[in-house]
Structure 1
Amino acid sequence: MAAYAALAFLSLLWGTSFLLIKIAARLFDPFGFALARVGVASAALLIAGALTGGVWPGRRPGLWRKLIALSLFGQVVPFLLLGKAAQMTTSADMALMMGASPIFVFLAARFVRSGDRWTLLAALGLALGFAGVGLALWSPTTPTAVAAHPAEGRALALLAAFCYAMSTLLSGAATREIGAVKAVAASMTLSTLALAAIDAAFGARPSLATILAAPPGPILAMVALGVFNTALGYFAYFRLVASEGPTFASLNNYIVPLIGVMGGALALGEPVALAAWAGLALVLTGVALTGRSLRAAR
């Protein structure tokens, strides 16, 4: 039960993040959005780590290569992709695309030693989840003011889901070696440095006057996104990967669409196609089958 409670908590954090992403994107361009999100999260993690004991992993060349890869696949690239996707489609669409992440983990785990023992029931559950995501991805799209380019936005979010899947496999090894706090803090700090350089080269940073004149909604959304949905979310995620395995941890991405769709519909009035709801039903059936099978195998 503890594992499922941790999975539900993580899903709640990441499911609500797409609503906050959509709100924050009203003020920040994709480069500034990614930098602000990871910068807030990094600061929160460094402060938390300093209060609980050291946060820096030390000089371990092999480990730092893992952390750099984790930073790129887990934060830098997907945060940029989602920042752009938020300008093109709805928060519900972005959340739905996250449902493909467990499938990517399943496929990639065939080439690495992930620690998961597979059954036909798990494979069936993942297949149902993948079918549900496919149904949601190809549901009819009509450009609107809040979703000017829905198909392209979904594709960017799907690519972000692939990056998250690759980071899942990387995070397990780093967490087992140095613990969740150090792994998250170090990777977030590396991401902040990388995104600061990218933003300096390509970003269109708003002026101080623009920021001061902006409504408080996007600023508050970014702070909440960085502290809770990113810093706390990644800490919980790394802990879950280390304790239950990468595929079980990635199942949060089957629950995230439900929370994301409901959040976007209730808070922002975003329309949700009937095909998307049907796809979501398949996704939830898939997570129930896969989770039960993986837990029993472990």
Structure 2
Amino acid sequence: MAATGLLLAAVATVVWSGSFITSRALNDSVPPVQAAFWRWIAAIAVLAPFALRATWRRRTLIRRHLGYVTLAALLGVTLYNTLVNQAGLTAPASTMGMIMAASPVLIAVCERLGGTRLGLRRIAGLAVACLGVLLLSGDGALPSGFAAGELWMLAAAVSFASYSVLLRRRPPELGGLPFLFAAFALGTLLLAPAHALSVAVQGGFEPTAATVGPLLYVGVFSSALAYFAWNKAVALIGPARAGVVYHLQPVCVAALSFVILGERTGPAGLLCMGLILGGVALAATGRSR
């Protein structure tokens, strides 16, 4: 059971790591909002045969918790992936992955703002991880400012952290798959006006193998398959142990970006990766009070 859970968590982590590669691969061909919109259209199409009936049966519960579902959809669907795509216009995929590695620390910040007291170990981990992000953005030195892509990625990490904290308060009666399908659908609906504006201003993209292939990857694998694998992993081994595997994401992104995009990680980047991962691990083992 534990080995299966760890394997499923690893599958989700590797698949999600590929999303940063596709964001970089599409930066010259598909505008960020359009890439996010069609990602979720593909995800909805894949989930519909499995989730539509159960979602319809829970329609009264979804309406009752519509405010919660809408906020979760806004943070986790509408904003998060759009911000990642925007960051992919200029930020290297390896940098995007390492900044996202600090998201568990940001989750701790959100918890503190919600009233949870943090232990000293979690505070120390937060400081170390934030130092790693700062050094990463300054190529090994403390930066005087952030590049545009890094700011977009930090915003994406904040959105993901906020979504994750909110997810812990999901009403259990909604069910996992119906909630996920409803969030996908609502998030795509919220994204539709921005998509229409993007098409009107920037024009549409040409549907070729170089554009449709990556969009299908993030829609089918990063959205539908990875979420399913991650949810199953959490059910088998719990969120804490699954989260340890998630911390390997920047390593996966760096490896994939080197193999696929030819992006190299220098000594400074490796040092920053170590600081971020060390800080996140330290924060994850700390206790809340």
> TM-score scaled by structure 2?
0.82
Q: Secondary structure at the match of 1:54?
A: helix
**Kept in 1: contact 2:19–2:218 (CA 8 A):** yes
- SS of the equivalent of 2:54 reads coil
> Which stretch of structure 1 is more off in the superposition, 25-34 or 99-108?
25-34
Distance in 1 separating the partners of 2:77 and 2:216:
16
Aligned pairs, number:
277
- For residues 149-207 of structure 1, give each alpha carbon's deviation from its aligned partner in whole angstroms, at most 9, with x where no partner exists: x8210110111010000000122222633222111111001112122222112333426
Would the alpha carbon gap of residues 85 and 238 (structure 1) be closer, same or farther in structure 2, given more than 3 Å must change?
A: same
Partner of 1:167: 163
Partner SS, residue 95 of structure 1: helix
Q: Does 1:9 align with 2:5?
A: no
1:206 aligns with 2:211: no
TM-score, normalised by the number of residues in structure 1: 0.80
State the alpha-carbon separation in 1 of the partners of residues 94 and 168 from structure 2.
Answer: 29
Matched residues in 2 for 1:251 and 1:130: separation? 18
Instruction: Give the AA of the match of 2:17.
Output: G
Gaps of 5+ in 1: 142-149
User: 2:258·2:264 contact (CA, 8 Å) conserved in 1?
Assistant: yes
Shift of 1:119: 4.9
CA–CA distance in structure 1, aligned partners of residues 74 and 159 of structure 2: 8
Distance 1:89 1:44 in 2: 30
1:122-271 → structure 2 map (5 Å cutoff) = 122-139=122-139, 151-174=147-170, 176-203=172-199, 204-206=202-204, 210-211=206-207, 214=208, 216-237=209-230, 244=238, 254-271=247-264
Question: Matches of 1:67 and 1:13 in 2, distance apart?
Answer: 25
Q: For the aligned residues, what is the CA RMSD?
A: 3.0
Distance 1:42 1:194, change over 3 A: same
Specify every segment of 5 or more residues in structure 2 that has no aligned partner in the other structure, as ranges: none
Question: What CA distance in whole angstroms lies between the structure 2 residues aligned with 1:180 and 1:278?
Answer: 38
Return the letter of the residue paired with 1:201.
L
Range with greater deviation from structure 2 (172-181 or 283-292)? 283-292
Q: Displacement of 1:70 after TM fit?
A: 0.7
Distance 1:133 1:10, change over 3 A: farther
- Other-structure match for 2:273: 280
Give the partner amino acid of 1:277: L
CA distance in 1, matches of 2:271, 2:203: 40
Contact 1:180 1:235 in 2 (8 A): no
Alignment of 1:76-87 (within 5 A): 76-87=78-89
The letter of the residue matching 2:267 is: L
Q: Distance in 1 between matches of 2:127 and 2:243?
A: 15
CA distance 1:130–1:235, shift in 2 (3 Å): farther
Partner of 1:147: none
- Are the equivalent residues in 1 in contact too, given 2:21–2:253 (CA < 8 A)? yes
| Alpha-carbon distance change, 111 to 85 in structure 1, aligned in 2, over 3 angstroms | closer
How far apart are residue 291 of structure 1 and its match? 4.5
Q: Between the two proteins, what is the percent identity of the paired residues?
A: 25
CA contact (8 A) 1:129 1:254 kept: no
Partners of 2:75 and 2:162 within 8 A in 1: yes
Deviation at 1:227, TM superposition (A): 0.8
Distance 1:234 1:72 in 2: 17
1:88 Cα shift? 1.5
For the residues of structure 2 that align with 1:105 and 1:238, how far apart are their CA atoms? Answer: 18
CA 113–239 in structure 1, closer or farther in 2 if over 3 Å, else same: farther
Structure 1 residue aligned with 2:106 = 104
| 1:11-30 deviation digits (Å, cap 9, x = unpaired) | 21211211122223332111
1:67-88 Cα offsets, whole Å, 9 max, x none, are: 1101111111122212221111
Measure the CA separation in 2 of the matches of 1:219 and 1:257.
Answer: 25
Q: CA deviation at 1:126?
A: 4.1
